[in-house]
Amino acid sequence: MNRRVVITGLGVVAPNGVGLDAFTAAIKKGVSGIKKDPELERLKFSCQISGKPEVSVEHSLKYFTELELRNFNSSGILYGVVAAMDAWKDAGLSIAVNDEPDWDSGTIFGTGTSGIDKFRESIYKIDDFQTRRLGSTAVAQTMNSGVSAYIGGKLGLGNQVTTNSSACTTGAESILMAYDRIKSGQAKRILAGSTSDSGPYIWGGFDAMRVCTFKHNETPEKASRPMSTSASGFVPGSGAGALVLEDLETALARGARIYAEVLGGNVNSGGQRGLGSMTAPNPVAVQKCIKSALENAGIVAEAIDAINGHLTATSKDSLEIQNWSEALGRKGLDFPYINSLKSMVGHCLSGAGSIESVASVLQLHQGFIFPNINCEDLHPEITSIIDKSRIPQQLIEKELTIIAKASFGFGDVNGCVILKKNPI
């Protein structure tokens, strides 16, 4: 089988916009979703700001019943279900309840740690000899596959329903896993995406590692500074992105709107060898991942119009630019446009790759390059490799054909997805 795979639906729950319209408007305008976080301040975190989606109880009730929400305490599953169901509806697919599962459709929806607040609640009840008060949904909310299980049940999915987990590469990996399943003929449709919980129990370890910025607690919107000389660490964030991937023939048969085509991609690992470690990327592996992604997609490096990078606002930003330049054999004015959504939303961890992929698809579909904010002082190591005009700080209205979306994660893991504008 050698089916073509397209994207027919999008959904997003991001710190700067819940829902496709709000998110699109925010990224075009360069609106930050990073705010002061009273809980992090109370707990005396060094970093007292975060990018946290605002999902009200009223909005949640559009996706969950009151009974489901009564003992619900998993922000990651909430974000994932909202994004997934929005993507499903955006694709023009039915959410009607049928007795027969949809054997042709499934979900591969990733996460890092699921329901960590529910875990905490459960631990206290167990320690207080109140095990019987845990409730019937404690397992579903805390198991790693909880998000895909909830989505599968809401939509009646009968194909593969699973959760992947590869640190910050999770979202990109989920898209490529879905792509492979459809391309091989094992499914007609897969809802791909990823999510991340909010809160101190997710973000505390990063704060302890001193990889989060502490210099902008009073100026949250200025805090996330990818590619900037004054970058001082990432801002913790959370949320979810969802994409409906579909066999082209199936999509055309039902008259679906097509946002973009997934041409291919690659995932690999640096094996924590050479310069790679648990927390640092092996440059050889990163460059190999990019080159292999191009080969898998059947394109040359010169075909890439824009890159949506990983670019977290740490000391590794310059290395990432260098890796892109060497892998593509392009530099200076010849380098593609490049941007980082993290300047507006922070680092959404396991949810980052999918949220950023939604932004990448929107750029292709609507013909724009969203601005990088907070990088008026571009790092000289970066501008020595690529021309500063390749790092737009204002919205550019421009037709694009191919975008490369990359994510690199803890454990020295890498993912690169190649996306093409709707070919029809």
Q: Which domains does the chain have, with CATH numbers?
A: 5-260 (3.40.47.10), 264-421 (3.40.47.10)
DSSP string, 303-370: G--EEE----SSTTHHHHHHHHHHHHT--BTTSPEEE-THHHH-B-GGGHHHHHHHHHHHHHHHTEEP
Tens-place pLDDT, residues 259-269? 999 999 999 99
Would the pLDDT of 124 be above 60? no
Name the residue among 82, 199, 55 with its Cα closest to residue 150. Answer: 82
Q: Are 328 and 385 in contact (CB under 8 A)?
A: no
Name the residue among 136, 160, 196, 179 with its Cα closest to residue 351. Answer: 196
Range of weakest confidence among 113-122, 233-242, 243-252: 113-122
- Name 102's bridge partners: 157
Range of weakest confidence among 93-107, 248-262, 407-421: 93-107
Q: What is the pTM of this model?
A: 0.95
Tens-place pLDDT, residues 301-349? 999 999 999 999 998 999 999 999 999 999 999 999 999 999 999 999 9
Please give the pLDDT value at position 73.
Answer: 83
Would the pLDDT of 151 be above 60? yes
Please give the pLDDT value at position 72.
Answer: 84
- Name 368's bridge partners: 397
3-state secondary structure of 198: coil
Mean pLDDT calculated for residue range 236-251: 97
Would the pLDDT of 122 be above 80? no
- Nearest 5°: the CA angle 377, 37, 21 is 75
* pLDDT band (50, 70, 90) for residue 111: very high
Tens-place pLDDT, residues 369-402? 999 999 999 999 999 999 999 999 999 999 999 9
| Residue 373 main-chain phi, psi, to 5 deg | -100, 160
